Amino acid sequence: MNSRRNNQDRRRIREGLKKSHQTHLVTPNKKAFSGTDQLYSEIEKTVQENGNMVFKEATVGAGLPIISTLRELVVTGDQLTKVEGIFSGTMSYIFNQFSQTTPTSTSFSEVVSVAKQLGYTEPNPADDLNGSDVARKLSILARNLSSPISLPLGFESVPTRTLIPEPLAEVNDPVEFMSTLPQFDAQYGRFRDEAFTKGEVMRYVGIIDLTDPSKPLVKAGLERLVEKKKKKKKKKKTTSFQKRTRRFLSSIVERIQS
């Protein structure tokens, strides 16, 4: 994630905005906006000084207006108390298939392989399974609050549970990664079975909890959730969020399927 190319992408956004007040930006690219606090502050300062227009709505919720809705709540004087959701369409698909309310024997590696064939994953699925995509989205949201949460290292400051087995952590070749992943199917299967016996499903969830403003919590990881049984097997990628604020005590839910 810290490759030279990624660093160039981040600098390119910052330098491009500096060149002219007529330079405006519409991007789904999360890298610069989930980078270090220093880089993010430099971009924000440049935007304020030059009057650039920057639209980054698609960095978090795909087609959902997550950032703009949050900003509108803040502008009207409301305060976010909690936002949680399934931020990754790829992770959503994988766990919708792997962990269901009805018994399934499909292995984790088989589900990941199908997701890769469908084009849902990155070229190397490890880049999805490490949880960094969700961490990046959380860091972007955390910086759009009325009282932004300090994340000195950006997304790397977000506690994130990787789904990559430790022996595969340093495997960069996607072919090697996918050919070795089946060796850990039993481990993933145990997690699924433990959840199933309690009427729960596994989902990869991102959370920002400001219930106690003095101890803000931001994290990304695997959660066991209670889900109602459905007649048909889920096949789609679903990105969904729910927000609670001081004004709206019940959740504001936004969801999109693709």
122 strand-pairing partners: none
Angle, CA 32 vertex, CA 31 and CA 33 arms, to 5°: 95
Between the alpha carbon of residue 136 and those of residues 56, 110, 180, the distances in Å are 13, 27, 27
Active-site residue, selected from the candidate residues 30, 56, 116, 137: 137
Matching residue, tokens 């994630």: 1
What are the respective helix, strand and coil percentages of the chain, to the nearest 5? 45, 20, 40
The span from the CA of 159 to the CA of 155, in Å, is 9
The span from the CA of 220 to the CA of 187, in Å, is 20
86 strand-pairing partners: 240
Q: What is the dihedral of CA 74, 161, 202, 246, to 10 degrees?
A: -20
3-state secondary structure of 159: coil
Q: What is the dihedral of CA 194, 197, 198, 201, to 10 degrees?
A: 70
Q: What is the dihedral of CA 229, 89, 158, 163, to 10 degrees?
A: 70
Active site includes 137? yes
Catalytic positions, please? Answer: 137
